[in-house]
Amino acid sequence: MSLNGQSKIPQILKNREAEVLADWLGEQMAAGIRKDLLKEMELREECREFLELFTDAIQQGNFTNIQSPEWRGLKDMLASVSRSRTQKGFTPTETANFVFSFKQPLFKRLRQELGQNGETLLEEILSATNLIDKLALWTTEIYQKTREEVILRQQEELMELSTPVVKLWEGILALPIIGTLDSARTQIMMESLLQMIVQTGSQVAIIDITGVPTVDTLTAQHLLKTVTAARLMGADCIISGIRPQIAQTIVYLGVDLADITTKASLADAFVLALKRSGFAISRSKSAI
């Protein structure tokens, strides 16, 4: 970059800091920044911090590579602004505009200082534009990353919600599984099942797979693991919801479920569990 070392921007920012800051704030307020989401005080503080770090970094004369160490401070600051905007509910455009809106006040000062020298002005504006675009892109990247983290966390929460262990009767638990039984889910399921076994002192746990569309060797392995772990905690498992087509497929696959009690339906499994726990079921005469 031809301007390296001779750019007027660091000097201008130093001398005119207060004016640039006021212009920039005014710019954002006029553009209708959402005051319901962000207080003017906060915004002023963010702008002031940005300006300070920007002025510091730009002293080094590096306008092109924001990966280098002198830009680290500003990038960290932008990352935290971006994260807090994401959480507050700003759009990616609004978030990037925090940085983009810095162009106008900066260029205005440049024009005032370099007005006579058209060529230098153009070069300064071009290199500043480039730099600011990069910083704005950086906020967008962080915005995206934060969103992904939020989604991932929600998925994990959903997974925990979707493996509830319910107490059916004194000493009898049920664990209805719906969807795919992957490794992460098995882990969560096993943990909550074992915990409930201890908490309730249950002797029987029914794992219902009516809602699992495909039982392959991995699913089978996960079921076997869960059953073994429950057994070690002193509870017997019954697997219910094995439909005829699944039973046949398991046999062809060659997976050995012979050690495990299985039942076609949850109702059948429940009756068996009651019997094993010493309850007898009878229909009262009056109900007939």
Q: Binding another protein by CB under 8 A: which of 255, 264, 271, 272? A: 255
How many Å apart are CA 135 and CA 138, to the nearest integer?
5
Residue 224 within binding range of ligand ATP, rule CB under 6 A: no
Q: Does 246 sit near another protein (CB under 8 A)?
A: yes
Which residue of 244, 259, 280, 282 would you call a contact of another protein, by CB under 8 A? 244
Q: How far is the CB of 207 from ligand ATP (least distance, A)?
A: 19
| Site string (73-112) toward another protein, x via CB under 8 A | ----------------------------------------
Looking at the Cβ atoms of 181 and 206, the one nearer to another protein is 181
Q: Closest CB to ligand ATP among 86 and 219? A: 219
Q: Which does 22 bind (CB under 5 to 8 A by kind): another protein, ligand ATP, none?
A: none
What's the 3-state SS for the chain? CCCCCCCCHHHHHHHCHHHHHHHHHHHHHHCCCCCCCCCHHHHHHHHHHHHHHHHHHHCCCCCCCCCCHHHHHHHHHHHHHHHHHHHHCCCHHHHHHHHHCCHHHHHHHHHHHHCCCHHHHHHHHHHHHHHHHHHHHHHHHHHHHHHHHHHHHHHHHHHHHCCCCEEEECCEEEEEEECCCCHHHHHHHHHHHHHHHHHHCCCEEEEEEEECCCCCHHHHHHHHHHHHHHHHCCCEEEEECCCHHHHHHHHHHCCCCCCCEEECCHHHHHHHHHHHCCCCCCCCHHHC
User: Is residue 212 close enough to count as binding another protein by CB under 8 A?
Assistant: no
Of 118, 252, 284, 285, the residue at the interface with another protein (CB under 8 A) is: 252
Check residue 217 for interaction with ligand ATP (CB under 6 A).
yes
The one of another protein, ligand ATP, none whose footprint includes residue 264, by CB under 5 to 8 A per kind, is none
The residues in 162-181 that bind another protein, with binding defined as CB under 8 A, are: 180
11 vs 183, which CB is nearer to ligand ATP?
183
**Chain residues in the site for ligand ATP (CB under 6 A):** 217-218
**Chain residues in the site for another protein (CB under 8 A):** 180, 182, 213-218, 220-221, 244-246, 248-249, 252-255
